[in-house]
């Protein structure tokens, strides 16, 4: 559905040009959950922006349903690293902002918005303003905003990066549950190995800058994945394999 | 944008108590100042044409009240029209500057240069151009109050978080919706800051214009009281101008609280207690 064909990215600065991405070839299938896992600064966010059409690639091309991407993908939901909620709107109206901008039927989607908020444990917080919510709740609202219109493509740029470990676990499980119902195609950027394995059908391991694909790993674990999934030998196997890749790339040292 | 107030009644009570306390200590300081003034004038027998005692000034205020009212209305009329022009013109102008680089490059330097001219000095010129009517006064009010709002509104439109543009792009937005639902509301706090400085300048503009060439308005009365060495009347006018200034400022603050209750400066959080 979303195909990266030899995509590369180069930034021109005063001190010359920097390559951020090189030779990215990736074919994301419909309904697939794909994680992009890599160290910070390897261009994985850039890849997400290119795939959405927010940024133009310097080389290669992106095909969305076999059509070259020229503008921002229409049927997309994007969760950014920071929640980027509007501080003058309460939680439910921040979610509904998506529908207002798209001229969708208000009453119909209000139901959906409330249901989504309930799924992520935000019942009773619909009237609260962003500054009255905790960081975890703000990001949950932001996730609901990206999902409310049922986008075909869901892009998530380290959405749990700013959250504490406990909240991350919970939101991760919430997200998997929603995705299993909605069946969106998801591209999920992270630097957390556990998160990548637990959420994905495939994990794309990136090298440091300039970011290239080191390996694409199929994750064959039954869903829904539970807390106890981390204790299975299969999980251990994937984790060990990815850790080894990072060690080989010099990103981890085992001393 | 109205917001349901679901605050804890105890917090509300504590807040009210706190603001009453603030008000009482402020009034106390003011009262002490007045008493000191009164005492000084009496002890040193200062002639009233130099400095009238507060009691004399207040007495003059009530004595001249009926004479001041028509002039006050004339001044308020000038302020209302001049300030209205400012609001109507400077916010769209700020929008243009924020949106168009060309407009910014061509117009902005010119406007800033204009800002550097001591505009009060132009007042006599306005009399020559526009005569003695309402027009020169309105123009001066406009000229003085235009810039603070224009500068603040421009800063407000430009300080938009650029990542919100990405958010809107992923929602297949129209520029119109983006302006009304994101850019304009996020500029509102700074627009209100501008409105508050502008209204003070508007009053200055009206008074100065009435100094220069007018037979109505509080500025004209100030000149006359000055010429007659009627200092108690001067103080009565000053009291009236203070009251007008406070009321105009408070009016904008009320609009502000209604329009942006979400903004940090307007929040009544528990921590502020």
pLDDT digits (tens, 9 = 90+) for A40-77: 888 899 999 999 999 999 999 999 999 998 889 899 99
Of A36-50, A111-125, B118-132, the range with the lowest mean pLDDT is B118-132
User: A97 and B171 in contact by Cβ < 8 A?
Assistant: yes
Q: Are A178 and A189 in contact (CB under 8 A)?
A: no
Higher pLDDT, B14 or A54: A54
First and final C-alpha spacing in chain A: 43
Based on the structure, what is the number of domains in chain B? 2
Whole-angstrom CA distances from B71 to A120, B68, B203, B210, B237 are 63, 5, 14, 10, 11
Give CA–CA dist A79/A67, Å, rounded. Answer: 24
Give CA–CA dist B158/B191, Å, rounded. Answer: 12
User: What contacts A208, CB < 8 A, 6 or more positions away?
Assistant: A38, A39, A41, A42, A249, A251
Clarify whether residues B22 and B89 are in a common domain. no
Q: Are B255 and B221 in contact (CB under 8 A)?
A: no
* Residues on chain B touching A85 (C-beta within 8 angstroms): none
* Residues on chain A touching B171 (C-beta within 8 angstroms): 97-98, 101-102
Shortest distance between the Cα of B173 and any Cα of chain A, in A, equals 5
Clarify whether residues B111 and B34 are in a common domain. no
Shortest distance between the Cα of B161 and any Cα of chain A, in A, equals 9
Shortest distance between the Cα of B183 and any Cα of chain A, in A, equals 10
Q: Give the model's pLDDT for residue A131.
A: 92
Domain assignment of residue B50, yes or no: no
Q: Give the model's pLDDT for residue B269.
A: 55
Q: How many CB atoms lie within 10 A of CB A220?
A: 8
Nearest residue of chain B to residue A82 (CA atoms) = B163
* Residues on chain B touching A82 (C-beta within 8 angstroms): 163
- Strands A153-157 and A185-190, by their bridges, are parallel
Domain assignment of residue B51, yes or no: no
3-state secondary structure chain A: CEEEEEEEEEEEECCEEEEEEEEEEEEECCCCEEEEECCCCCCHHHHHHHHHCCCCCCEEEEEECCEECCCCCCCEEEECCCCCCCCCCCHHHHHHHHHHHCCCCHHHHHHHHHHHHHHCCCCCCCCCCHHHCCHHHHHHHHHHHHHCCCCCEEEEECCCCCCCHHHHHHHHHHHHHHHHHHCCEEEEEECCHHHHHHHCCEEEEECCCCECEEEEEECCCCCCCCHHHHHCHHHHHHHHHHHHHHHHCCCCCCC
Q: Give the model's pLDDT for residue B261.
A: 85
Residue with tokens 């002039």: B71
Q: Give pTM, 2 decimals.
A: 0.84
Clarify whether residues B191 and B133 are in a common domain. yes
Domain assignment of residue B271, yes or no: no
pLDDT category at A32 given cuts 50, 70, 90 is: very high
Clarify whether residues B71 and B174 are in a common domain. yes
CATH number of the domain bearing residue B79: 1.10.3720.10
Higher pLDDT, B116 or B225: B225
User: B172 and A98 in contact by Cβ < 8 A?
Assistant: no
Go through the domains of chain A in sequence order and give each one's CATH number. Answer: 1-70+153-164+185-255 (3.40.50.300), 76-151 (no CATH)
Burial A168-186 (b: 16+ CB within 10 A, else e): bbebbbbbbebbeebebbb
Residue A130 token pair: 């962003």
ipTM of the complex: 0.89
* A37 phi and psi angles, rounded to 5 deg: -115, 130
Range of the domain at B220: 56-266
Clarify whether residues B187 and B124 are in a common domain. yes
Give the pLDDT confidence of A144-198 residue by residue, as tens digits: 999 999 999 999 999 988 788 888 888 899 999 999 998 999 999 999 999 999 9
Domain assignment of residue B246, yes or no: yes
């Amino acid at each position: 559905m979303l195909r990266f064909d030899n995509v590369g990215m180069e930034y021109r600065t005063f001190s010359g040009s920097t390559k951020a991405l090189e030779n990215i070839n990736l074919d994301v299938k419909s309904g697939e959950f794909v994680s992009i896992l890599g160290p910070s600064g390897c261009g994985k966010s850039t890849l997400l922006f290119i795939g959405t059409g927010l940024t133009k690639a310097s080389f290669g091309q992106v095909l969305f349903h076999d059509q070259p991407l020229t503008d921002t993908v229409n049927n997309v939901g994007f969760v950014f690293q920071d929640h980027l909620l509007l501080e003058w709107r309460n939680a439910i109206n921040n979610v509904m902002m998506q529908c207002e901008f798209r001229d969708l039927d208000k009453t119909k989607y209000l139901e959906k918005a409330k249901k989504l908020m309930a799924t992520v444990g935000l019942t009773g917080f619909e009237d609260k303003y962003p500054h009255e919510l905790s960081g975890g709740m703000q990001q949950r609202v932001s996730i609901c905003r990206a999902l409310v219109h049922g986008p075909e493509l869901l892009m998530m740029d380290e959405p749990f990066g700013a959250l504490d470990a406990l909240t991350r676990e919970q939101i991760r499980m919430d997200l998997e549950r929603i995705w299993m119902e909605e069946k969106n195609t998801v591209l999920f950027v992270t630097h957390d190995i556990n998160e990548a394995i637990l959420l994905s059908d495939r994990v794309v391991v990136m090298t440091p800058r300039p970011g290239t694909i080191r390996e694409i790993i199929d994750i064959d674990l039954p869903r829904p994945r539970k807390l106890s999934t981390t204790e299975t030998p299969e999980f251990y196997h994937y984790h060990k394999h990815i850790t080894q890749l990072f060690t080989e790339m010099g990103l981890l040292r085992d001393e | 944008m109205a917001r349901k107030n679901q605050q804890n009644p105890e917090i509300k009570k504590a807040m009210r108590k706190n603001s009453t306390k603030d008000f009482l200590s402020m009034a106390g300081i003011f009262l002490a100042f007045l008493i000191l003034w009164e005492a000084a004038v009496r002890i040193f027998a200062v002639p009233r044409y130099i400095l009238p005692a507060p009691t004399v000034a207040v007495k003059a205020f009530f004595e001249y009240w009926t004479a001041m009212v028509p002039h006050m209305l004339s001044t308020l009329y000038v302020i209302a029209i001049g300030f209205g022009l400012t609001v109507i013109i400077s916010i769209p102008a700020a929008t243009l500057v924020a949106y168009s680089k060309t407009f910014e490059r061509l117009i902005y330097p010119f406007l800033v240069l204009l800002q550097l001219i001591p505009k009060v000095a132009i007042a006599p010129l306005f009399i020559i151009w526009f005569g003695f009517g309402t027009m020169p006064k309105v123009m001066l009010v406009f000229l003085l109050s235009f810039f603070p709002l224009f500068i603040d509104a421009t800063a407000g439109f430009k300080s938009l978080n650029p990542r919100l543009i990405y958010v809107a792009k992923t929602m297949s937005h129209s520029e119109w919706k983006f302006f009304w639902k994101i850019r304009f509301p996020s500029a509102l706090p700074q627009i209100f800051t501008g409105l508050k400085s502008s209204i003070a300048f508007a009053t200055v503009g009206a008074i100065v214009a009435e100094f220069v060439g007018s037979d109505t308005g509080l500025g004209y009365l100030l000149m006359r009281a000055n010429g007659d060495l009627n200092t108690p009347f001067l103080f009565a006018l000053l009291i009236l101008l203070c009251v007008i200034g406070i009321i105009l400022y408070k009016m904008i603050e009320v609009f502000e609280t209604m329009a942006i209750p979400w903004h940090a400066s307007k929040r009544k959080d528990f921590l502020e207690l």
